Structure 1
C-alpha cells in the first residue's frame, strides 16, 4: 500500500520551509511520496490577490523539480470555492483506495484543528502528521503523529514582504523561484 504525505498550502510563494518539512516527513515516516496540494481558496486565510493560480503552480513545479518523490496534486485548484480538507480527502480516498494518506500540518494548524470543517469525519479519512513551528503549541486531543523537523522560521508572507521592499530572499527559496518572481514582476518586484 503506497504511503503518501499531503502538504497543503497556498505556496504563495513556495519556499525551503515547505521543502524541508516535506523531505523530513517523507524520510522519517518512510513515505513513498509527498504530494504538494495548492489551495484554491483556503477557508482559514486569504492568498495573495496579485498572483494567479497558474503562477503559484509554476513556482511549485520549479521548487520540486528534481525530486522524484515530490508530486503536485491539483485537485483543490480545479474546484471552486473554499478548499475544505474533508472534501479533498473523500475524493482522494475514492480515487486512490489502496493508498494510505498522511496530512501534514504545522503546529499553527494543530491549534486550529477543533475549528476544521467536519474534523470528526476527517480524522477517520486521514492520519494527521504534525510538525513543530516556533511559537505554537503541539497540544491537541486529536490523534496526531509528530515529526521533529529542524527549525527554519520562514513564511510566504515574510518572503512577499521582503520582495516588495527590495530585500534579499536568497537561501529562503530556490533560485529558480526567485528568478520566476523577478521575471514575472510578482509581489511588487
Structure 2
C-alpha cells in the first residue's frame, strides 16, 4: 500500500514554488507519489488565462524528470458545476484503491471546509485524509477545534498539519503579470515552461 497526495491548483502556469511545495510535502509526509491536478476551466470562481492544453503541456514538461510526480487531467475533463472535491477524491480512491489518498491544501481552504462552503463538506472530512499547509495568520488547531464539521470527524489521523517552512510565495498571477507587462520572470518557473510560454506567446 502506497501513499499518494492530490495537489490541485490552476497551474496557470506552474511555478517553481508549486514544485518545491509538492516535493517538500512528499518528503516530509513520506508520500510515494504526488498527483498534480489542474482545475477545470469551467469553474465560475476562476478564470484561466490559457487553454487547458497549454496548462497541461507546461505541467507535463515541468515534472517529466521526476517519476514521483504525476499529471492528471481528471478535473479538466469534468463539468465544473457537477463535481466537487468530494467526488474527485472518491474517483482517486477508486482508481488507486490499494493506496491511501491525501488531499493537499492550504489552511485557508481548511477554514472554508469547516464553514461548510465546500460541496458535501461533512462527508468530505469524514471520509478523507488531508495534508494542510500553514498560511500566515491562520491557527490551524483553532480552525479545527472551532468547527463542528472538522472537530467531529477528526480521528487524530484526518489532518496532517505542516506548520513550518512552507511560506514561500510566488504566485502564478505574479508571473502572468510580469509577462504581460514585458517583465522577465525567467527564474520563477521551470526553464522548459519559460521557453514554452515565449514560444507560444502566452500571457501577453
Aligned residues: 187
What is the CA distance between 1:106 and its match in structure 2?
Answer: 1.6
Could you say if the C-alpha distance between residues 61 and 135 of structure 1 is closer, same or farther in structure 2, counting changes exceeding 3 Å? farther
Q: TM-score, normalised by structure 2?
A: 0.84
Where does residue 17 of structure 2 map in the other structure? 17
In the alignment, the residues of structure 2 paired with residue 122 and residue 95 of structure 1 have an alpha-carbon distance, to the nearest angstrom, of 17
From 152, 168, 173, the equivalent of 1:152 is 168
1:140 corresponds to 2:143: yes
Match of 1:183 in 2: 199
1:67 matched to 2:66? The reply is yes
Q: Distance in 2 between matches of 1:137 and 1:160?
A: 31
> Which residue matches 2:27?
27
Alignment of 1:33-48 (within 5 A): 33-41=33-41, 43=43, 45-48=45-48
Q: Which has the larger radius of gyration?
A: 2
Paired position in structure 2 for 1:8? 8
- Displacement after TM superposition at 1:92 (Å): 1.4
Q: How many angstroms does 1:27 deviate by?
A: 0.4
**How far off its partner does 1:52 sit?**
0.6
Quote the offset at 1:126 in angstroms.
Answer: 2.1
Partner Cα distance (1:90, 1:169) in 2: 37
SS state at 1:21 partner: helix
The worse-fitting range, judged by mean Cα deviation, of 92-101 and 35-44 is 35-44
Cα RMSD after superposing both structures: 1.8
Is this contact kept in 1: 2:4–2:32, CA < 8 A? Answer: yes
Structure 2 residues not aligned, in runs of 5+: 145-149
Match of 1:104 in 2: 104
Deviation at 1:135, TM superposition (A): 5.1
3-state SS of 2:105 partner: strand
4+ residue segments displaced more than 6 Å: none
What is the aligned partner in structure 2 of residue 126 from structure 1? Answer: 128
In structure 2, the partner of 1:94 is 94
Deviation, 1:149, is 3.4
CA contact (8 A) 1:7 1:22 kept: yes
Hey, what's the Cα distance between the residues in 1 that align with 2:173 and 2:137? Answer: 16
SS at match of 1:51: coil
